[in-house]
Amino acid sequence: MARNRRVLLLPGDGIGPEVVGQARRVLEGLGTGFEIEEGQVGGASIDAHGTPLTDATLARAKAADAVLLGAVGGPKWDKLDFANKPERGLLRLRKELDLFANLRPAICFAALVEASTLKPEVVGGLDIMIVRELTGGVYFGQPRGIETLANGERRGVNTQVYTTSEIRRVAAVAFELARKRGRKVCSADKANVMESGVLWREEVQKLHDETYGDVELGHMYADNCAMQLVRDPKQFDVIVTDNLFGDILSDEAGMLTGSLGMLPSASLGAADASGFRRALYEPVHGSAPDIAGREIANPIAAILSLAMMLRYSLDMAAAADHLESAVRRVLDGGARTADIMGPGKVQVSTARMGDLVMGELTKQAA
């Protein structure tokens, strides 16, 4: 008999517990083949253990088949030392699990075309994938810190740094994904001002010429890419970019879909000999402390993150398809959480949205 798959849930802070709670119900509804565990991360872990990620939780994440994280951070912990902030818990997880490839799909559901601030003809049918490098660049580069100079001025330093192998492994993920989609990759960098950007561009091009000649490759400066994303987002298929530009461009792409509340993500490590990849799934939206605890948050990003987990970690592509079409039908039916509410639609709570998705899944199964 196949062993149960171990899924670790780390709800975290703000709306994290509310949205992960709905994803958990959906996962439980999928059957008994899972061992579902829960742990703490971010501010929740700081309050309980004095650190945003304990070694024990890290060990459980390493042992799990997949991790689903809600969100971290909030005003309560804003004044903490940089090294002890909730965000450090997430960054440490990414780094220690070596989750170098962050997949952030931006899909505009037909039912939500009106929810975007952009014109329907610009975003209708949009389906792009941002592949963000996640364990390198300025997020982790040394030296870093704040120092006081002899003249009393203070100086803040961060380092943007990439090596050949870091660039090639994330670019390979982007090319492989493109082969299963529209066979087009756009690489975004700032090769016009940064040496690390020159290297990025050269290495992506080299890898393309060696191995991925069947995929169309273009390069864009990251600022132009930001502009093109709102001007004509449908020109893109897969965008590959570094950690910082990817952070920014993926938030921007999120708004094209109507709401950040719709956006799932997957962070993947390298495949081992058996094909297993460490992976962490999380909604892109963050902890949204202003609406936390009010049961109005949109659980769809967390539920779609679960769908990505089924597809990329648990070898359950058919279940992932079912879940995604269940979400689509719920939206077609007119139910909306506050963030995607529109005229003539029915506003529902976080839990009610979960109920509706579960209801559609059961209908499909029947």
**Under rule CB under 6 A, residue 295 binds ligand IPM:** no
**Residue among 286 and 331 whose Cβ is closer to ligand IPM:** 286
Count helices and strands in the chain by DSSP H and E runs: 12, 14
Which residues are identified as catalytic? 139, 190, 223, 247, 251
Residues 54-93 that bind ligand IPM (CB under 6 A): 73, 87, 90-91
Residue number of the CB closest to ligand IPM reads: 87
Within 10 Å of residue 102's Cβ, how many Cβ atoms? Answer: 25
**Residue among 290 and 332 whose Cβ is closer to Mg ion:** 290
Q: 102 has which bridge partners?
A: 132, 267
Three-state DSSP class for 239?
A: strand
Give the C-alpha separation, 133 to 339, whole Å.
Answer: 28
Q: Helices (DSSP H) in 313-349: which residue ranges? A: 317-332
Give the C-alpha separation, 265 to 307, whole Å.
Answer: 10
**Under rule CB under 6 A, residue 242 binds ligand IPM:** no
CB of 42 to ligand IPM, least distance (A): 9
From 52-60, 138-146, 185-193, 242-250, span contacting Mg ion (CB under 5 A): 242-250
Site string for ligand IPM, 10-29 (x = CB under 6 A): --------------------
Torsion of CA 35, 285, 267, 4, to 10 degrees: 10
**Under rule CB under 6 A, residue 324 binds ligand IPM:** no
**Under rule CB under 6 A, residue 166 binds ligand IPM:** no
38 binds, among Mg ion, ligand IPM, none (CB under 5 to 8 A by kind): none
Q: 133 has which bridge partners?
A: 101
**Residue among 94 and 311 whose Cβ is closer to ligand IPM:** 94
**Under rule CB under 6 A, residue 355 binds ligand IPM:** no
From 164-172, 228-236, 244-252, 321-329, span contacting Mg ion (CB under 5 A): 244-252
Contacts of residue 33, defined as CB under 8 A and 6 or more positions apart, other chains included, come to 2, 4, 5
Cis ω for the linkage preceding 143 (within 30 of 0) = yes
Among candidates 257, 249, 242, which has minimal Cα distance to 298?
257
**Residue among 113 and 297 whose Cβ is closer to Mg ion:** 297
**Under rule CB under 5 A, residue 133 binds Mg ion:** no
From 40-48, 132-140, 160-168, 240-248, span contacting Mg ion (CB under 5 A): 240-248
From 23-31, 102-110, 243-251, 271-279, span contacting Mg ion (CB under 5 A): 243-251
**Residue among 197 and 246 whose Cβ is closer to ligand IPM:** 246
Contacts of residue 226, defined as CB under 8 A and 6 or more positions apart, other chains included, come to 248, 249, 252
- What is the full DSSP assignment across 2-20? PPPEEEEEEEESTTHHHHH
**Under rule CB under 5 A, residue 203 binds Mg ion:** no
Question: Which one of 247, 324, 339, 360 is in contact with ligand IPM (CB under 6 A)?
Answer: 247
CB of 110 to ligand IPM, least distance (A): 26
**Residue among 89 and 348 whose Cβ is closer to ligand IPM:** 89
Angle subtended by helix axes 300-312 and 350-365, to nearest 10: 40
Within 10 Å of residue 187's Cβ, how many Cβ atoms? Answer: 26
**Under rule CB under 5 A, residue 247 binds Mg ion:** yes
Give the C-alpha separation, 341 to 335, whole Å.
Answer: 8
Give the C-alpha separation, 108 to 101, whole Å.
Answer: 22
The residues of the shown chain that bind ligand IPM, judged by CB under 6 A, are: 73, 87, 90-91, 247
The residues of the shown chain that bind Mg ion, judged by CB under 5 A, are: 247
